[in-house]
Amino acid sequence: MSKIALIPARGGSKRIPRKNVKPFHGLPMIAHSIRAALRSGLFDRVVVSTEDAEIAAVARAHGAETPFERPQALAGDHAGTVPVIQHAIEALRRQGDAPEYLCCLYATAPFVQPVYLRQGFEALAARPDKSYAFPVTTFAFPVQRAVRIDAAGCIDALYPEYRDTRSQDLEEAYHDAGQFYWGRSEAWLRGDVVFSPCALPIVLPRYLVQDIDTAEDWQRAELMYAALLRTGEIDG
């Protein structure tokens, strides 16, 4: 039962230039994901998919493999994650490796913890009828109470039907944690829809989830990471 961790890491990040190798708490950002994958003890190989020579060198220095180069056609701003995963599976198969499971682990997920990687695999392996398992967390505020600003610059309810419903009576909503996606290789190749009933949730506490898309996100993430290390909430 071969299991591969695949870390997509293109070189062309626009909002935070060179984000994948920018130092985060003393290590290149991508190194945190590589270390979590290695510490989990789950994977036969930890592979980085990139078109960028510097990212490839950093990945290898921290224990990952770069057995193929990502095509430039899959390295642009509009390249989707699933085609990148499909390319990786097909490239590995051509090299004689046919993983049964592939976990797509984002390069910018410094809060990812081996325990949740293991939970994701165990959940998926126990449900042969499912294609994927990935982490989610709850919204901090009921999404049914969201508001919008209309064309006149005034507030309006996004979901007027819930305007008078008590918050405790509203269904709790979750969002993708943006860390990793376990999948069966055949499901990735078929293009099964990830956000669908064929996927299983791994529920994370909100303090382990932080998007890192802007300079402000980055600063907040470093402060959170340092605090969680001090309290022993994460294994850095």
pTM (2 d.p.): 0.94
Q: What is the pLDDT of residues 26-76, one digit of tens each?
A: 999 999 999 999 999 999 999 999 999 999 999 999 999 999 999 999 998
CA dist 202 and 181 (Å) reads 10
SS3 22: coil
Residues, the chain, total? 236
Structure tokens of 232?
Answer: 């022993």
Residue 134: CA count within 13 A, CB half-sphere? 26
Per-residue pLDDT tens digits of the chain, which is 236 residues long: 799 999 999 998 878 999 999 999 999 999 999 999 999 999 999 999 999 999 999 999 999 999 999 999 999 888 899 999 999 999 999 999 999 999 999 999 999 999 999 999 999 999 999 999 999 999 999 999 999 999 999 999 999 999 999 999 999 999 999 999 999 999 999 999 999 999 999 999 999 999 999 999 999 999 999 999 999 999 87
User: Nearest-CA neighbor of 103 among 188, 168, 24, 30?
Assistant: 188
> Rounded to an integer, what is the distance from CA 90 to the centroid of its chain?
21
Query: What are the structural domains, with CATH classification, of the chain?
Result: 3-231 (3.90.550.10)
User: Nearest-CA neighbor of 4 among 104, 74, 87, 82?
Assistant: 104
> Rounded to an integer, what is the distance from CA 86 to the centroid of its chain?
16
Backbone phi and psi for residue 156, each to the nearest 5 degrees, phi listed first: -145, 155
Structure tokens of 179?
Answer: 């860390």
Helix ranges (DSSP H) in the chain: 29-40, 53-61, 81-94, 114-125, 185-190, 215-231
